[in-house]
Structure 1
């Protein structure tokens, strides 16, 4: 029988700073003496979307787990409104209006500074996966290993992203509208969970609502904030320059980001390994937790490539 995680497994919220931006983060109380592992979340999502059960398994694999809210997400700083009204229009914009993808990569480094971590393993999910790839490019000395899940290549943007995104799902996502109330946040969270789940599994409506009620995340329907995140442009080197042990995870049934995106990342980062997760959508279902934790543990055991730092 799988051990039961503690009821309150996270330490107090703390803050890192990158210029005017304050970034909320916290640490998992189990496995505090393990190897540092920083988790980066997806578009609009706060840090609570990463399942506690997965973090419990990662701690059991020898990791000290921390997670943070991206800028414009969760408790971190939200920037002023821009012209883009929804993620779909921001995707096709020629340039980001609020900040760059480099700024978001620097956010992760700022969180590591606040944690006192000279370096860490990185796990980035969805938008967080693209951010993690960029951290490995911009701050390679801070990255022990890179795991990117359900992400597009971190060096593509705008129209080049279209080949990897299921535009029908993105359009549905962009059309979601809910009142700016706690009840609206719950309904938005449930709708997003339903939209991003594997179409080859029955969606558990009761569990989905319970999860949305535990984490009433207003970021699920804050399209302005999502637009600023998705509009952040990358100006650095291509992902083929990543020189860290890399694992690429992707749901075989992902209804938002095509598995072709995972294949593209794995083919372009030297030595990267691709793992397609069966019956997994753009999500972290419990059925995948043990496999994900074991894969990340195995990656941490990979010797560094010649010339790499650990």
Structure 2
């Protein structure tokens, strides 16, 4: 069941899995993606390992607040918000949940938001899991083919969304694993129904591009961290994960051969095991 929490003027849609007595684990999704892109089954597997899992829609995505009044970004116009503002949304959701601190896992842009949260509110982050992400700057430019799908023409119908999703994930998905076409199309249709917003996507992208490099700030973190990346990621190349892990003191880097810019079902058991090992070993107060 989807619930809503308010954080300084932003309504955040979220869903939870597992016992409230479990280790709090907050999942942050990426650019233009929604909470449904954290698969139900993956969330259930994490819950079975003792986590109280919460997934949510970022601002300008899904059923959370869309900043329609900000309009679409334009050259020479300041970005309506930055990743730090999205990190503040995340902290506000934690307040509403009654979580003084949590284990925080973000994918792609969600990894950037998780990093920003750890930088700005280190006391709120028990452990940091950054997946297929980057500390910013120019360390991990997308391939030309990935750039072409990132800036593809916005769709206007549910059917177009499903077709475009297949084209997108055929380029940036995991070449070492068979593309789950049914899942891709199903999620694309659901996402279109929940909150299709090309201008919101553009505002999130503007936030990424306008936010400063986090590398130096990451070197000052004192938080147990796990960095996960695919060796064959076309959208955020492996150099992004390597730079993230190199910046965070003591961070572990886990690279999956054949993985692109998604989380293939076949990798879930190993992902869940790695996350559980980290969170179970650091269940106390945030560092």
- Identify the residue that residue 100 of structure 2 maps to in structure 1: 118
Cα offset for 1:43? 0.4
Q: CA RMSD in A?
A: 2.5
TM-score, with structure 1 as normaliser: 0.82
Secondary structure of the corresponding residue to residue 164 of structure 1: coil
Q: How many residues align?
A: 282
Residue pair 1:96, 1:231 contacting (<8 A) in 2 also: no
Contact residue 150 and residue 262 of structure 1 kept, 8 A: yes
Show the counterpart of 2:65: 77
Change (3 A) 1:62 1:289: same
SS at match of 2:254: strand
What SS does the corresponding residue of 2:232 show, helix, strand or coil? coil
1:56 matched residue in structure 2: 44
Cα deviation for residue 218 of structure 1 reads 5.3
Instruction: Give ranges in structure 1 of 5+ residues lacking alignment.
Output: 1-10, 86-92
Does the aligned pair in 1 maintain the 2:100–2:124 contact within 8 Å?
yes
State the alpha-carbon separation in 2 of the partners of residues 62 and 277 from structure 1. Answer: 24
Equivalent pair of 2:79/2:203 in contact (CA under 8 Å): no
Q: CA deviation at 1:115?
A: 0.9
Does structure 2 retain, via aligned residues, the 8 Å contact 1:266–1:273? Answer: yes
Q: Secondary structure at the match of 1:132?
A: helix
Over 3 Å counting, the alpha-carbon distance change for 1:45 and 1:207 in structure 2 is: closer
Q: Is the 8 A contact 2:230 2:238 kept in 1?
A: yes
Corresponding position of 2:113: 131
1:1-310 matches, cutoff 5 A = 11-18=1-8, 20-28=9-17, 30-79=18-67, 80-84=70-74, 96-153=78-135, 156=136, 160-161=137-138, 163-216=139-192, 221-222=198-199, 223-234=201-212, 238-303=217-282, 309=286
Contact between 1:198 and 1:255, CA under 8 Å: does it hold in 2? Answer: no
Does structure 2 conserve the Cα–Cα contact (< 8 Å) formed by 1:130 and 1:152? Answer: yes
Displacement of 1:69 in angstroms is: 1.1
Conserved 8 A contact 1:253-1:280: yes
Q: Report the 3-state secondary structure (helix = DSSP H, G, I; strand = E; otherwise coil) of the residue aligned with 2:219.
A: helix
| Residue 89 of structure 1: aligned partner | none
Quote the Cα distance in structure 2 between the aligned partners of 1:270 and 1:33: 30
2 CA distance for matches of 1:201 and 1:221? 29
- Gaps of at least 5 residues in structure 2 are none
Partners of 1:138 and 1:122 lie apart in 2 by: 14
User: Separation in 1 of the partners of 2:13 and 2:182?
Assistant: 30
Cα distance, 1:207 vs. partner?
A: 4.1
C-alpha change, 1:253 and 1:170, in structure 2 (3 Å) is closer
Structure 1 contact 245–304 (Cα < 8 Å) conserved: no
Measured against aligned partners, the alpha-carbon deviations of 1:59-108 in whole angstroms (never above 9, x if no partner) come to 011000001111111112222124438xxxxxxx8x85211222111111
Q: 2:6–2:12: 8 Å Cα contact kept in structure 1? A: yes
CA distance in 1, matches of 2:51, 2:253: 22
- State the TM-score, normalizing by the size of structure 2: 0.88
